[in-house]
Structure formats: structure tokens, C-alpha cells
Amino acid sequence: MKTMRVAIPSNGLGGLDGTRAGHFGHCDVFTVIDCQNGEIVDVTTIKNEEHVQGGCMVPVNLLAGHKVDALLVGGIGMRPLMGFKEAGIRVYHEAERAEIRAVIDDLIAGRIPEIRSDQVCGGGGGQ
């Protein structure tokens, strides 16, 4: 892994010491972590934009516009997953832990897999 910009749906103010939101579309902010050669080099946040049911391409376009390479989620529906794939954003799945620092460390270490189609949810905030 050379350089990667990872977005993690986050609760509240987000950040490395924050917690991951259960479903990406309804998070407060996205914590955006820039990694280079296995090290965290920058952390910022992007406020999530409101979207109505069925408007799940709003976060896809938001993150693509911020040059995100990867998304780390605990839950996501098939429609936005396909949108991220079309945008060239890889989606990783980790539903057990919510601590952002722990999950980004595991992603950098290669311990979190890309999401499989049988791991998607029905959307609407469900897990």
C-alpha cells in the first residue's frame, strides 16, 4: 500500500479518536485519513450531506469529489456500493468494532477485506 485516502463514516465530530457510524449514509461526518507507506499522514473530516431515501448517490459523489480511494463501512446497501465501485472507490467491510483508530490500523495492515455482495444490507439505516 503506497498512498490511499480512506473515508470512514463517523459519529459526531469524527476524527481518529471517534467512532464509526453503523451505516455510511446516515453518518454525521466522514473521517478522511490520508495514508502513505503504511503511515497516517493527515486526518480531516467532511460533513455528510443530507439525502432523501433513494438519494444514496449523494455521498458517493461527495466522496468522489474529495478524491477518496477507499471507504470503510459497517453497513451499506447494494445501490450505493455499486455507485462507489463505478466511481473507482474500493469498499471495505468491518462491522465488529467502532473505534476509528483501531479499524484504520487494521486496514493499513491488510486485515480488513473488501466487502462481498452477501454483506450488503437493505439500506435505510439498517445493519
Position 126 in a domain: no
Position 122 in a domain: no
Q: What's the domain range around 82?
A: 3-117
Domains in the chain: how many in total? 1
Residue 124 has a pLDDT of: 46
Residue 66 has a pLDDT of: 97
Yes or no: say if 26 and 40 are a contact pair by the CB < 8 Å rule: no
Position 123 in a domain: no
Position 15 in a domain: yes
pLDDT reading at 123 higher than 80? no
Reported as a single tens digit per residue, the pLDDT across 50-62 is: 766 556 678 889 9
* Helix ranges, 32-118 (H): 57-65, 78-86, 100-108
Reported as a single tens digit per residue, the pLDDT across 26-59 is: 889 999 999 999 999 999 999 998 766 556 678 8
Task: Give the closest residue to 30 by CA, choosing from 51, 6, 50, 46.
Answer: 46
The average pLDDT across 113-121 equals 86
Reported as a single tens digit per residue, the pLDDT across 60-102 is: 899 999 999 999 998 888 888 999 999 999 999 998 899 999 9
CATH of the domain at 55: 3.30.420.130
> pTM (2 decimals)?
0.89
C-alpha distances (whole Å) from 92 to each of 43, 63, 64, 116 are: 18, 15, 16, 9
